[in-house]
């Protein structure tokens, strides 16, 4: 398409917006009740308010939606440049985005989200989706402090306080394991939040008992939807440990912009570079259920890790021992030399193990990525995004303390070390130097949880899996 033709089309679209125009939306797969969020740009002058946008399904029926203005063409023009669109799929193979001065959304969201964010010292965030109520406290905890499942017969307590371990980042050095305490210091509601879909940002830090371990910041983004017992989590932590045992340099922590001070050059012969100091012993998210746990369900895939076959589902009746699903692979700590596939041979070493205490129940190459636990009245389903690619990952249920732990770094594998593999120096501007820039690295992990009543595990598992693998909806490439 020529630039003149494209300009002509855009001109027609701008001219037609007064009476309403439409943008066909592409769906990569047909789903029902799956949350989608996507962005749509508009030419200058085509859209002046997010209220003038709505979504229709393939029958022309309006779908409840949430529209957020992201950016405008200001200062050149006050019209809107980009919007975010949120809605829940309804089984259609096609959708249409209508916009224009005459367009109004007519279909209301039946149970809009209710969120209260208190910045008082003992405050936090209270969320009510209509079927799930929970609280995140600005204090020790780090994640959901309590949660109720709301049904026709009233509220049922589903989750209780995790005693300062709602999320955790435990460190290991020569003095042993230093368990973290998660402390939430700030909560807010992010842009893109509305009556259908909201994003909560929880900021805090992991604090340690030993003075040599510095606090580590974390940010947890919690996504919730109106009328749904779903929680999608994007958890980011910052590694602030001392990676290795190299000899400290005089002035290495002084201000950078000091005059007359020589640049520090590390000693390439210092073997401390290859000796680990602060390692990650374990990291993850903890949910503490409010009743005794009875049943665990999960799935693994048959076949090889790169050609997974049919999924087999396993159900375990809980006794006294913890039940865990661990997905690992070759060289979990990624210390070189890391195995790689060649043109003729694929790497091996991927293992998904379901175990009860020391007893192995099942072992395959690939986990399905989901895990559910249930008691007499309530249950929780959980899922990791890309559990194989993001190995090592684990789900663990401990009946004694009624916890479900989604491990970002399981403590059942070798601790994560940030020491250098060798003393081979780098060359920068003709100078041989030895560096280790691990301090300050950040890691984000995506996972989901679906709280449910007993007997509804299958629906909750489907929801948890969809949250981390939603359908992709977009306008035609020409529109962008």
Residues with Cβ within 8 Å of 211's Cβ and at least 6 positions away in sequence, in order, are none
Give the pLDDT of residue 259. Answer: 55
Backbone angles phi, psi at 388, to 5 degrees: -70, -50
Q: pTM to 2 decimals?
A: 0.92
* Mode of pairing for the β-strands spanning 124-128 and 132-137: antiparallel
What average pLDDT does the chain have? Answer: 91
3-state secondary structure of 3: helix
C-alpha to C-alpha distances, 118 to 126, 176, 196, 218, 267, nearest whole angstrom: 8, 38, 21, 20, 51
Say what the alpha-carbon torsion angle 258, 259, 260, 262 is, to the nearest 10 degrees: 40
Give residue-wise pLDDT tens across range 161-198. Answer: 877 799 999 999 999 999 999 999 999 999 999 999 99
**Range with lowest mean pLDDT among 65-74, 108-117, 431-440:** 431-440
pLDDT-derived band at 262 (thresholds 50, 70, 90) equals low
- List CB contacts of 155: < 8 A, sequence separation 6 or more: 133, 148, 149
Q: Give the residue ranges of DSSP H helices in 290-345.
A: none
**Which residues lie across from 136 on neighbouring strands?**
125
Dist. CA 339–CA 76, nearest whole Å:
53
CA distance 6 to 297: 53
Nearest to 411 by CA among 177, 173, 142, 141: 177
Left (φ > 0), alpha (ψ -120 to 50) or beta: where does 171 sit? Answer: beta
pLDDT band at 252 (very low <50, low <70, confident <90, very high): low
Helices (H), 210-278: none
pLDDT, tens digit (0-9, with 9 covering 90-100), for 280-303: 999 999 999 999 999 999 999 999
User: ∠ CA(201), CA(202), CA(205), 5° rounding?
Assistant: 140
List Cα–Cα distances, 114 to 134, 139, 184, 227, 472, in angstroms: 11, 22, 21, 11, 27
Q: What is the spatial order of strands in the sheet that 53-57 belongs to?
A: 62-63, 53-57, 95-99, 21-27, 473-475
Task: Dig out the tokens for 36 from the structure.
Answer: 């989608």
pLDDT digits (tens, 9 = 90+) for 65-89: 999 999 999 999 999 999 999 999 9
- Looking at residue 424, the DSSP 8-state letter turns out to be P
β-pair partners for 65: 87
| C-alpha to C-alpha distance for 111 and 361, rounded to whole angstroms | 43
**Are 295 and 315 a contacting pair, CB within 8 Å?**
yes
Confidence of residue 199 (pLDDT cuts 50, 70, 90): very high
Whole-angstrom Cα Rg for the chain: 26
Q: Residue written as tokens 């909806």?
A: 473
What separation, in Å, do the N-terminal and C-terminal C-alpha atoms of the chain show? 13
Token digits of residue 152:
């026709």
- DSSP symbol at 8: H
- Residue 435 pLDDT class (50, 70, 90 cuts): confident
- Tell me how far apart the alpha carbons of residues 323 and 399 are, in angstroms, rounded to a whole number: 9
CA distances from residue 117 to 141, 144, 255, 480 in whole angstroms, order as listed: 17, 14, 38, 36
43 pLDDT tier (thresholds 50, 70, 90): very high
């Amino acid at each position: 398409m020529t630039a003149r033709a494209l300009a002509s089309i855009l001109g027609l679209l701008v001219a037609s917006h007064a009476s309403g125009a439409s943008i066909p939306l592409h769906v990569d797969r047909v789903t029902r009740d799956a949350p989608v969020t996507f962005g749509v740009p508009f030419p200058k002058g085509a859209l002046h308010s997010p209220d003038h946008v709505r979504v229709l399904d393939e029958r022309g029926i309006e779908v409840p939606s949430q529209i957020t203005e992201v950016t405008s063409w200001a200062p050149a023009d006050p019209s809107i440049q980009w919007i975010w669109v949120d809605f829940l799929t309804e089984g259609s193979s096609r959708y249409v985005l209508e916009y224009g001065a005459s367009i109004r959304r007519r279909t209301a969201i039946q149970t809009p989200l209710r969120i209260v964010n208190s910045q008082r010292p003992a405050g936090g965030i209270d969320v009510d989706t209509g079927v799930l109520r929970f609280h995140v406290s600005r204090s020790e905890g780090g994640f959901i402090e309590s949660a109720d499942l709301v049904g026709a017969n009233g509220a049922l307590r589903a989750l209780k306080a995790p005693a300062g371990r709602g999320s955790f980042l435990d460190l290991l050095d020569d003095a042993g394991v230093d368990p973290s305490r998660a402390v939430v210091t700030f909560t807010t509601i992010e842009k893109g939040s509305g009556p259908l879909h909201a994003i909560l940002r929880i900021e805090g830090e992991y604090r340690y008992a030993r003075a040599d371990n510095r606090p580590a910041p974390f940010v947890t983004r919690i996504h919730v939807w109106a009328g749904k017992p779903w929680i999608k989590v994007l958890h980011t932590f910052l590694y602030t440990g001392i990676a290795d045992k190299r000899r400290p340099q005089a002035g290495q922590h002084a201000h950078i912009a000091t005059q007359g001070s020589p640049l520090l050059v590390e000693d390439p012969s210092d073997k401390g570079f290859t000796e680990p100091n602060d390692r990650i012993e374990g990291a993850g998210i903890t949910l503490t259920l409010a009743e005794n746990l009875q049943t665990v369900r999960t799935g693994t895939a048959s076949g090889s890790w790169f050609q997974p076959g049919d999924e087999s589902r396993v159900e375990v009746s809980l006794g006294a021992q913890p039940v865990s699903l661990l997905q690992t692979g070759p060289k979990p700590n990624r210390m070189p030399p890391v195995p790689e596939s060649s043109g003729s041979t694929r790497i091996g070493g991927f293992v998904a193990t379901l175990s009860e205490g020391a007893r192995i129940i099942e072992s395959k190459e690939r986990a399905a990525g989901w895990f559910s636990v249930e008691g007499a009245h309530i249950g929780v389903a959980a899922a990791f995004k890309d559990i194989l690619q993001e190995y090592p990952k684990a789900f663990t249920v401990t009946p004694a303390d009624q916890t479900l732990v989604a491990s970002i770094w399981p403590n059942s594998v070798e601790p994560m070390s940030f020491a250098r593999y060798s003393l081979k120096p780098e060359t920068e501007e003709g100078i041989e130097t030895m560096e280790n820039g691990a301090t300050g690295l950040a890691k984000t992990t995506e996972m989901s949880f679906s709280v449910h009543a007993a007997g509804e595990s299958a629906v909750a598992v489907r929801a948890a899996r969809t949250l981390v693998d939603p359908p992709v909806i977009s306008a035609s490439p020409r529109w962008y």
